[in-house]
Amino acid sequence: MDKIRNLSNKIRNLSLRKTILLYMTVSLICSFSLSAWISVLAFHTQMSIWRRYMDYDKYFELINAGGMEYMTGIVRPSSSEMTPHERHVNELCDFLETYSVFVLSMTGSCVTVFLFYRNKLKHPIAELELASQNIAQNNLCFHITYENEDEMGRLCREFEQMRAQLYENNIRLWRSLEEERALRAAISHDLRSPLSVLKGYHEMLTDYLPDETIDVKRAMEMLAECGKQLDRMDAFVETMRKLSSLEKRELLPNEITAEQLHADLLAECHILEKEAGRQITLQAAPTANVFRGDREIILEVTENLLSNALRHAKKEVTLTISVTRSECRICVTDDGNGFPDNTGDVTKAFYQQNARDSLKHAGMGMYISRLYCEKHGGRLLIGNQKQSGASVTAIFCRIA
């Protein structure tokens, strides 16, 4: 049984040229053998008919008179002497003796072509036609299953490789477009906070400077803070200009203390709470620990969390800073309605909780925050408080 199976596999995997040669050889052998057998059968059938009209007395007389030196044959009787049935059979035998080789050879050739097409071409051609239709319809989620080792098998495997490469290229292109879209949204999103601070200081200086209700020292402090925000925007734009995706942003380690973060965020909190009409409580436990991390990324994540909390808070948002040598934690809580049950969706790109959200923000804040936390070796923890309101904790791990 195994030998038969192995032989069948060898025949199935023969090249097209060897296969057609094998089919034609078998066909011709069978055709010639069958035609010879039919000719012999037709000859004997004719002889049996002719013997019925033979004059046996004259036949034996000729045999006895001629002896061994002569061969005596049976004479073909006249058609008029035969019955209609015998006449038709006799004519059929004449036809078979003359044309059986030609007829059977042509028939065998046609059968050979049919079998060759069915066994070697039909399946792979159907696979390739279906594959071409799917590719034309931009559907690449299919596979070519023809696996013979002949030329059609190699063609199908090459077509399958082409399909897989096209599928991979489409996935790569789709990811590239998504990364570019996310990068554009991230740039516009992260520029919003510094612009809000600059806008707030501009309004304050415009309102208070003309009537001199603000002293020069305070005005200079505001201008210095505006300079810091402009420097941040300039550094951020220059960094993003060199990026093709958010994941490729490099970390720039700095030594950071809780007091520094408190000072950096204090001025921004005043502007953001004035713009949102809600109160921000900033808490930073004093400590001598020095954390090493990317200051700009930590500030960007904190601003994103603050903006999100202020958008959903009713009256108050609390920002807590905790710094150790190995870890920096930024916890933002609000007194709003909290997150929905599917908190995993909150950190997806372009997440909108409802249709009205798209008019207020791009839905990138939590996504960027999670991405930057993970890039910093940490994570973003999302949950709800026991009473009411949301709680988000950004954890950053120390980098070298």
Q: What is the pLDDT of residues 41-68, one digit of tens each?
A: 998 898 888 888 776 666 666 666 655 5
Provide the pLDDT for residue 58: 67
Quote the CA–CA distance of 274 and 199 in Å, as a whole number. Answer: 11
Element (H, E) at 383: strand 379-384
Task: Report, as an integer, the average pLDDT of 150-159.
Answer: 88
- Which pTM value belongs to this model? 0.47
- The pLDDT confidence band at residue 187, using thresholds 50, 70 and 90, is low
Provide the pLDDT for residue 362: 42
Average pLDDT over the chain, rounded to an integer: 80
Is the pLDDT higher at 316 or at 190? 316
Task: Report, as an integer, the average pLDDT of 66-74.
Answer: 56
Residue keyed to tokens 């930057």 = 372
3 state SS of 397: strand
267-271, Cβ contacts within 8 angstroms, sequence gap of 24 or more: 267/197, 267/225, 268/193, 268/197, 268/303, 268/306, 269/306, 269/319, 270/200, 271/196, 271/197, 271/199, 271/200, 271/201
pLDDT at residue 71 is higher than 80:
no
The two three-digit tokens of residue 111, written as one number:
């059968």
Provide the pLDDT for residue 396: 94
CB atoms near residue 165 (< 10 Å)? 11
**pLDDT, tens digit, for every residue of 97-151?**
888 889 999 999 999 999 999 988 888 899 899 888 888 888 888 888 887 888 8
CB atoms near residue 161 (< 10 Å)? 11
Provide the pLDDT for residue 247: 64
Please name which of 278, 394, 275 lies closest in space to residue 336, comparing C-alpha atoms: 278
pLDDT at residue 242 is higher than 60:
no
